[in-house]
Amino acid sequence: MKRKTGFNDNFVKKKQKVGTKAKPTPQNAMTFKTRNITLLDQTALRSKKGQMVTNRNLTLSDLFVKLNHYAPLTRKDALFGLKQLIDEFGDLIEANSYQLIEKTLTLIPDPEPKVRFALRKFYESFFDYFRVRSERNSKEVKTESMEEDEVVKE
Question: Could you list the pLDDT tens digit for every one of the 154 residues in the chain?
Answer: 566 665 666 777 778 788 887 777 777 777 888 888 776 655 444 456 678 888 898 999 999 999 999 999 999 999 999 999 998 888 777 888 899 999 999 999 999 999 999 999 999 999 998 888 888 888 777 776 666 666 566 5
pLDDT attached to residue 44: 47
User: CA torsion sign, 72 to 74 to 77 to 78?
Assistant: negative
In angstroms and rounded to an integer, the radius of gyration of the C-alpha atoms of the chain is 35
How far is 21 from 50, CA to CA, in rounded Å? 73
**Residue type for position 60:** L
pTM over 0.75: no
Identify the pLDDT of residue 154.
Answer: 58
Return d(Cα 13, Cα 22) in angstroms, integer.
Answer: 12
What pLDDT score does 3 carry? 60
Q: Note the Cα 30 to chain centre separation in Å.
A: 40
Average pLDDT, the chain: 81
pLDDT for 45 equals: 43
